[in-house]
Amino acid sequence: MTLFDLTGKIAVVTGALGKLGPVWIEALMDSGASVYAMDHSSAPDLARFDDIKSRYGPDKLRLARADILSREELISAREELLEVFGPPDILVNNAGIDQPPEPGRSYTIDQIPEDMFLPTITVNVFGAFQVSQVFGGLMLKKGSGSIINIGSLYATVSPDPGLYDHIRCDPPFVKPPAYGASKAALLNLTRYLAAHWAKDGVRVNALSPGGVAGGQDEKFKQKFNRRTPMGRMAEEADLKGPLVFLASGASSYVTGVNLPVDGGFTAW
C-alpha cells in the first residue's frame, strides 16, 4: 500500500461542495492527505462536507471560497493555502458546469443560445487552466506535483440522443454540445500541460468518469445501463481508487493520459 500512500501530502480540490467533490476529498484523506478544498461563494454549505471535516479533524481539511474564473480570488486562496498547509502536491480540477435536462428549456441544435454554450466552455476549460496556473506554479517551483483534471465520457463520445428521448419536451431534449466540447478541450489541455511541465516534475492526467448513479430518472438509468458493457452506472467507490492512483507515486511514470472510469462505456 505504500505505493498509494499520501501521508503528509497536500491536495487542492475545486468544486468541493458538489456531488463528486466530497468523493475525491474522502479518497485523498483516507490515503493520508490533507485537503485544501475550494468552491464558489454561491455554493451552498454541504452537510457531507462538514461530516468529513468532523471525521478527519479541522486541521486536515480547510474550505476556501473562490471563483475559479477570478484570478484575484484564486491568488488569495493560494496565500491562505501557503499559510495553512504549504505548497500543494496534488491538484484536482473538479469544478465544472454540467448541463442536465432542464424542464422547459430545450432547443433544436441550430437554436441553442450563447448562454448555453460559453459559460460551460469558460468554466470547464479556462477555469481549470487558471487554477492550474495559480496552483501549478507552486508545484513547478517545488519540482513535483500531480494534477488531475476531471473529464467525462462525453469528452470522448457524443451523447447518444436515444438516452434522452423519453424526456417529454418540445422540441425534444438534446444534451447541449458545450459540455462534451469543453471536456474534450480539457483532455487536450491535459496533454499540453503534461508535455510542457514533465521536465519540471509535474504530472498532469485526466480522469473521466462515466455517469455516476444518483438522481437520474429510472428510464434513463435503464437505458444507460444497457448501453454500458458493465451494465451499471458508476458508484462513488468506483472513482476513488483511480484518483488515488493518479495522485500517488503508484503512477510516477504516467503523464498526459486520460483514464476512463466508465464501465467500458467508451470501449464500443
**Positions marked active-site:** 179
The answer to whether residue 240 forms part of the interface with ligand NAD (CB under 6 A) is no
With beta carbons less than 8 A apart as the criterion, state whether 262 and 210 touch.
yes
Question: In whole angstroms, what is the distance from residue 29 CA to residue 13 CA?
Answer: 11
The answer to whether residue 157 forms part of the interface with ligand NAD (CB under 6 A) is no
The answer to whether residue 18 forms part of the interface with ligand NAD (CB under 6 A) is yes
Q: Which long-range contacts (CB under 8 A, 24 or more apart) does 196-201 make?
A: 197/136, 197/139, 197/140, 198/255, 198/256, 200/139, 200/140, 200/143, 201/139, 201/142, 201/143, 201/144, 201/145
The answer to whether residue 67 forms part of the interface with ligand NAD (CB under 6 A) is yes
* SS3 (DSSP) at 3: helix
* Size of residue set near ligand NAD by CB under 6 A: 25
Choose between 67 and 89: whose C-beta lies nearer to ligand NAD.
67
With beta carbons less than 8 A apart as the criterion, state whether 248 and 31 touch.
yes
Going by C-alpha positions, the residue among 113, 89, 88 that lies closest to residue 99 is: 113
| Shortest separation between residue 253's beta carbon and ligand NAD, angstroms | 26
The answer to whether residue 94 forms part of the interface with ligand NAD (CB under 6 A) is yes
The helix (H) or strand (E) run that includes residue 179 is helix 177-197
The answer to whether residue 212 forms part of the interface with ligand NAD (CB under 6 A) is yes
Q: Which stretch binds ligand NAD (CB under 6 A): 103-111, 208-216, 235-243, 245-253?
A: 208-216
Query: Which residues are within 8 A (CB) of 118 and not within 5 positions of it... i.e. 6 or more apart?
Result: 178
The answer to whether residue 255 forms part of the interface with ligand NAD (CB under 6 A) is no
Question: In whole angstroms, what is the distance from residue 248 CA to residue 200 CA?
Answer: 17
* Residue from 32, 56, 60, 69 in contact with ligand NAD (CB under 6 A): 69
The answer to whether residue 5 forms part of the interface with ligand NAD (CB under 6 A) is no
CB-based closest residue to ligand NAD: 18
Cα radius of gyration (the chain): 18
The answer to whether residue 131 forms part of the interface with ligand NAD (CB under 6 A) is no
The answer to whether residue 28 forms part of the interface with ligand NAD (CB under 6 A) is no
Residues that bind ligand NAD (CB under 6 A): 14-15, 17-21, 39-40, 43, 67-69, 94-98, 123, 127, 150, 152, 209, 211-212
